[in-house]
């Protein structure tokens, strides 16, 4: 059968006029091209953020999609990701214990209950998470600004001694102006590292308020736990590394990308670096005019 006769037969079988049939083919070809463009954009972002979720991808790509005259809703975007096997699946792994609160050091009260966070360097939250190496673990100490979600201090260390947490704290305070230190609260769990004399002395010298979780409830340090999950889930820090050097390179790259590129829904879809430069309520449901330059 000749192509012309074939197209007539297809139109007849589908109940289309020939004009409608060719229009349908044109639309399908256009959609296929759009899908190719979208997948290429997604893979470019995933080079730096391997496991970033669909909502963040949709937000990051919005301007680029408009530049290509691609109009697509979030549900359709998710459907395309699913079709091409690009939806992020949740992975669960066994993890070591990083907090030991069974020690004789003084445990400080929780100072941040009902606190409204309205500016950067008002509250820092600290936590330790593990990074897998072949046959063992190393430990990443993080200090995160509760307002902007920016990681302001970090250190990857081979063990759970206080050295790693102290180095992360020094990195954070070195970047902080003296005038901001007396108005800052440091919040952590009641682990030995954060209650040790050396760590407490560093906070006291800089007049930084000290706050700790009560009753060992991990949900009291939810921001820190969330950042840990993002780094492992979206930046591939949940995988195993050959050694400390390789893991440290991945940590540095991941944190720099997280701070400068990853938008936060809770921060009006600003990146941590962007949110760290302003003050005011930050959630999307709040008005833009409430956000002011710092």
C-alpha separations of 16 from 11, 21, 28, 176 in Å: 5, 6, 15, 69
| Partners of residue 212 on adjacent β-strands | 188
Q: How far apart are CA 203 and CA 237, in angstroms?
A: 29
Q: Is 62 helix (H, G, I), strand (E, B) or coil?
A: helix
Q: Is 278 helix (H, G, I), strand (E, B) or coil?
A: strand
The residue whose two tokens read 């440091």 is 186
Q: How far apart are CA 74 and CA 8, in angstroms?
A: 37
**What count of Cα atoms within 13 Å lies in the side-chain half-sphere of residue 275?**
34
Nearest to 264 by CA among 186, 126, 150, 188: 150
Q: Is the dihedral of CA 47, 48, 49, 54 positive or negative?
A: negative
Structural tokens at position 128: 């330790």
Quote the Cα angle for 208-232-153, to 5°.
Answer: 25
* pLDDT digits (tens), the chain, 294 positions: 444 555 455 444 445 455 554 444 444 555 666 777 777 788 887 777 776 777 778 888 887 777 777 777 777 887 877 777 777 665 555 555 555 455 557 889 999 988 899 999 999 999 999 899 988 899 999 999 999 999 999 999 999 888 999 999 999 999 888 777 778 999 998 888 899 999 999 999 999 999 998 865 545 668 888 888 889 888 888 889 999 999 999 999 999 999 999 998 888 889 999 999 999 987 653 444 444 555
DSSP string, 89-132: PP------------SSS--PPP--TTPPP-STTSEEEEEEEEEE
């Amino acid at each position: 059968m000749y192509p012309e006769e074939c197209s007539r037969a297809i139109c007849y079988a589908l109940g289309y006029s020939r004009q409608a049939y060719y229009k349908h083919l044109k639309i399908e070809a256009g959609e296929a091209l759009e899908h190719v463009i979208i997948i290429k954009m997604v893979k470019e972002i995933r080079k730096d953020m391997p496991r970033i979720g669909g909502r963040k991808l949709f937000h990051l790509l919005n301007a680029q999609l408009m530049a290509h005259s691609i109009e697509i809703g979030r549900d359709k975007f998710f459907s395309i990701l699913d079709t091409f096997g690009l939806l992020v699946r949740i992975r669960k792994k066994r993890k070591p214990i990083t907090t030991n609160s069974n020690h004789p050091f003084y445990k400080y009260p929780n100072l941040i209950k009902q606190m409204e966070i309205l500016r950067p360097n008002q509250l820092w939250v600290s936590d330790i998470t593990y990074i897998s190496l072949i046959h063992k673990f190393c430990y990443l100490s993080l200090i995160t600004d509760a307002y902007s979600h920016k990681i302001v201090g970090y250190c990857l260390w081979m063990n759970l001694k206080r050295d790693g947490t102290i180095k992360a704290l020094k990195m954070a305070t070195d970047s902080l102006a003296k005038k901001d230190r007396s108005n800052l609260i440091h919040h952590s769990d009641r682990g030995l590292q954060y209650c040790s004399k050396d760590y407490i002395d560093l906070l006291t010298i800089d007049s930084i308020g000290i706050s700790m979780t009560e009753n060992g409830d991990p949900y009291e340090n939810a921001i820190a736990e969330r950042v840990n999950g993002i780094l492992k889930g979206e930046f591939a820090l949940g995988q195993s590394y050959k050694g400390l050097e390789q893991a440290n390179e991945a940590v540095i790259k991941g944190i720099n990308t997280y701070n400068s590129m990853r938008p936060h829904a809770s921060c009006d879809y600003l990146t941590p670096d962007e949110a760290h430069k302003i003050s005011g309520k930050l959630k999307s449901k709040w008005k833009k005019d409430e956000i002011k330059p710092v």
